[in-house]
């Protein structure tokens, strides 16, 4: 076997190996990486694609991340919070459409009123989304930022069982450049540890193509995922937003290179962390219309159809070029199903679709931060 062949079948890829995989550019080499990632995906998590209906609950945010369009300092954003009725209508639709799971995502708030409202919504969604084909109700993923351990416990107790909190980058210098001093890498790692302690399936991830980010940093991110109890990974290209401090930063690479690097990241993560769920993110689709399909074809097995009402969606703009801004959930349903089928995959309906990684690490008990 040639050098790349050896690498693609090597166990315990090290930092140099991962850098080599991430750097692949030639179409033939990239095709081999992609095909090996799909082989590992099929063996470890299966061929199905799982849906997480995405409800962007609110764009009110106390944080000031330098890259994010809904950062607290962006005075141009019209702030909104969806009503209980709108959330419950979307959740019921999600269950009836057979999506199986939803994600409640919002800017970061940790006041007691918000904390209790989320618990209340989680309870209602679980109870009111139960159907004959989905007796436990929708699986609920939260993506609501850093919170005290007690809040994580409360939300888990209410019935949410997965949580997404991207680390964004594990490089301390880069993390500090893209966040205000009040937000620290240590606090982010502690929050991920707290989520695991509260019993959540833990999702994290990074942005790709951040100015100053190297392939070595991305390889270290993958090693971080592998050495911590992480069950789900969501990654996508960093895309500038005009009304953020990073909006004016020079783009570090050509868009086609950033896209390929993002896809190589998906494949490399699939080789390094075989039994996790990996999302084909919306940000990929912001780069090219078939970005999510390409993510699925590089080893991802989850995608997140947007259920947020169209009138609120334009106010949840994290970066320029967010796709499907005016496509209602009903239209999105047929479109996305066709996209998934176009790459030879099928959607697993009426299932939570938890990754084997969680059962494995629960059985291994003791895997700690
Ligand atoms: N407040 C929650 C949190 O911080 O995890 C959830 C919402 S936050 C907006 C969700 C994710 O959006 C972030 O983790 C970040 O990776 C991504 N994001 C924000 N701005 C972005 C940008 N300009 N380009 C790409 N992704 C971005």
Q: How far is Cα 279 from Cα 169, in angstroms, rounded to an integer?
A: 17
Confidence (pLDDT) at 334: 82
Question: What are the pLDDT digits (tens) for 196-243?
Answer: 999 999 999 999 999 999 999 999 999 999 999 999 999 999 999 999
Average per-residue pLDDT for the chain: 96
Mutate to test the pocket of ligand 1, among 167, 168, 207, 281 (most ligand atoms within 8 A of CB): 207
pLDDT at residue 333, rounded to an integer: 86
User: Distance from the CA of 183 to the center of ligand 1, in angstroms?
Assistant: 14
What is the pLDDT, as a whole number, of residue 30?
A: 98
Average pLDDT over residues 317-340: 87
Cα(259) to ligand 1 centroid in Å equals: 18
Tokens of 176: 């500090």
φ/ψ bin of 107: left (φ > 0), alpha (ψ from -120 to 50), beta (otherwise): beta
Protein residue with least CA distance to atom 3, ligand 1: 145
Residue 233 φ/ψ, nearest 5 degrees: -130, 130
pLDDT tens, residue by residue, 155-181: 999 999 999 999 999 999 999 999 999
Mean pLDDT of 331-347: 90
Give φ, ψ of 208 to 5 degrees: -120, 130
CA of 118 to the centre of ligand 1 (A): 19
pLDDT of residue 367: 60
The vertex-323 CA angle with 341 and 25, nearest 5°, equals 70
- How large a percentage of the chain has pLDDT more than 90? 92
pLDDT at position 366 is: 59
Contact 299, 355 (CB under 8 A): no
Q: What's the confidence (pLDDT) of residue 58?
A: 98
List, chain by chain if needed, residues with CB within 6 Å of any ligand 1 atom.
Answer: 67-68, 70, 105, 107-108, 143-145, 165-166, 168, 207, 236, 238-239, 241, 283, 318-319
DSSP state letters, 126-160: HHHT-BTTBTT--EEEEE-----HHHHHHHHHHT-
pLDDT for residue 294 is more than 80: yes
Going by C-beta distance under 8 Å and a sequence separation of 6 or more, which residues neighbour residue 291? 259, 280, 283, 284, 285
Cα separation, 59 vs 6, whole angstroms: 46
Q: 318 alpha carbon to ligand 1 midpoint, in Å?
A: 7
CB burial string 75-97: b at 16+ within 10 A, e below:
eebeebbbeeebbbebbebbbeb
Pocket residue to mutate for ligand 1, from 284, 318, 320, 321, most atoms within 8 A of Cβ = 318
Nearest atom in ligand 1 to 164's CA: 5
| Torsion angles phi and psi, residue 351, rounded to 5 | -135, 150
Ligand 1 centroid to Cα of residue 120, in Å, is 24
Do residues 152 and 198 lie in contact, with contact meaning Cβ atoms separated by under 8 Å? yes
Angle at 118 between CA 360 and CA 175, to 5 degrees: 65
CA 134 to ligand 1 centroid distance, Å: 30
Helices (H), 45-184: 84-96, 112-128, 149-158, 172-178
End-to-end CA distance of the chain: 37
- The protein residue with its alpha carbon nearest to ligand 1, atom 26, reads 238
Task: Please state, for a pLDDT cut of 70, what percent of the chain lies above it.
Answer: 99
pLDDT of residue 114 exceeding 90: yes
Q: Tell me the per-residue pLDDT of 32-64, one tens digit each, with 9 for 90 and over.
A: 999 999 999 999 999 999 999 999 999 999 999
Please tell me the residue having the least CA distance from ligand 1 atom 5.
Answer: 145
Nearest atom within ligand 1 for CA of residue 144: 2
Q: Is 279 a residue whose pLDDT tops 70?
A: yes
Say whether pLDDT at 138 is over 80.
Answer: yes
User: What is the 8 CA–ligand 1 centroid distance (Å)?
Assistant: 31
pLDDT at 323: 86
Give the ligand 1 atom nearest the CA of 240: 23
Band (368; pLDDT cuts 50, 70, 90): low
Residue 179, helix vs strand vs coil:
coil
Atom number, ligand 1, closest to the C-alpha of residue 168? 16
Going from the Cα of 39 to the center of ligand 1, the distance in angstroms, rounded, reads 30
pLDDT of residue 330: 87
Instruction: Reply yes or no on whether the pLDDT at 350 is more than 80.
Output: yes
d(CA 156, CA 163): 9
* 329 pLDDT higher than 90: no
Neighbouring C-alpha atoms within 13 Å toward the C-beta of 115: 14
Ligand 1 nearest-atom number relative to CA 239: 24
| Cα gap 294→263, rounded to integer Å | 7
CA of 56 to the centre of ligand 1 (A): 12
Asked if residue 369 has pLDDT above 80, the reply is: no
Q: Are 77 and 59 in contact (CB under 8 A)?
A: yes
Give distance in angstroms: CA of 69 to centre of ligand 1: 9
Q: What is the pTM of this model?
A: 0.97
Q: For residue 331, what pLDDT band results from cuts at 50, 70 and 90?
A: confident
The predicted model gives 96-124 an average pLDDT of 98
- Which residue, among 186, 98, 182, 110, has the nearest Cα to 142 in the 3D structure? 110
Give residue 361's pLDDT band: very low, low, confident or very high (50, 70, 90): confident
| Whether pLDDT at 349 is above 90 | yes
In sequence order, the β-bridge partners of residue 104 are 55, 142
């Amino acid at each position: 076997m040639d050098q790349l062949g050896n690498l693609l079948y090597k166990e315990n890829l090290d930092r140099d190996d991962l850098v080599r995989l991430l750097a692949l550019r030639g179409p033939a080499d990239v095709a081999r990486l992609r095909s090996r990632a799909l082989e590992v995906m099929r063996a470890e998590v299966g061929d199905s694609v799982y849906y997480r209906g995405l409800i962007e609950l609110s764009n009110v945010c106390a944080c000031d991340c330098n890259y994010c369009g809904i950062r607290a300092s962006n005075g141009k954003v019209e702030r909104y919070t969806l009503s209980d009725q709108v959330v419950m209508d979307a959740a019921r639709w999600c269950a009836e459409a057979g999506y199986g799971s939803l994600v409640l995502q919002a800017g970061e708030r940790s006041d007691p009123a918000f904390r209790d409202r989320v618990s209340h919504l989680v309870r209602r969604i679980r109870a009111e989304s139960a159907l004959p084909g989905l007796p436990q109700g929708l699986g609920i993923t939260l993506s609501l930022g850093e919170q005290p351990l007690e809040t994580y416990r409360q939300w888990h107790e209410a019935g949410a069982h997965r949580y997404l909190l991207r680390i964004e980058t594990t490089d301390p210098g880069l993390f500090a450049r893209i966040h205000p001093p009040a937000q620290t890498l240590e606090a982010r790692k502690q929050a991920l540890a707290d989520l695991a302690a509260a019993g959540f399936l833990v999702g994290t991830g990074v942005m790709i193509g951040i100015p100053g980010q190297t392939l070595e940093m991305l390889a270290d991110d993958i090693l971080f995922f592998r050495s911590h109890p992480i069950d789900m990974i969501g990654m996508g290209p960093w895309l500038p937003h005009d009304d953020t401090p990073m909006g004016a930063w020079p783009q570090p690479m050509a868009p086609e290179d950033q896209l390929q690097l993002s896809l190589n990241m998906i494949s490399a993560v699939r080789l390094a962390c075989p039994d996790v769920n990996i999302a084909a993110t919306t940000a990929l689709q912001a780069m090219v219309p078939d970005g999510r399909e390409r993510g699925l074809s590089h080893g991802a097995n989850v995608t997140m159809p947007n259920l947020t009402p169209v009138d609120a969606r334009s106010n949840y703009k994290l970066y320029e070029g967010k796709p499907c801004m005016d496509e209602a959930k009903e239209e999105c349903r047929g479109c996305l199903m066709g996209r998934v089928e176009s790459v030879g995959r099928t959607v697993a309906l009426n299932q939570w679709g938890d990754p084997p990684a969680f059962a494995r690490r629960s059985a291994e008990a003791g895997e700690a931060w």
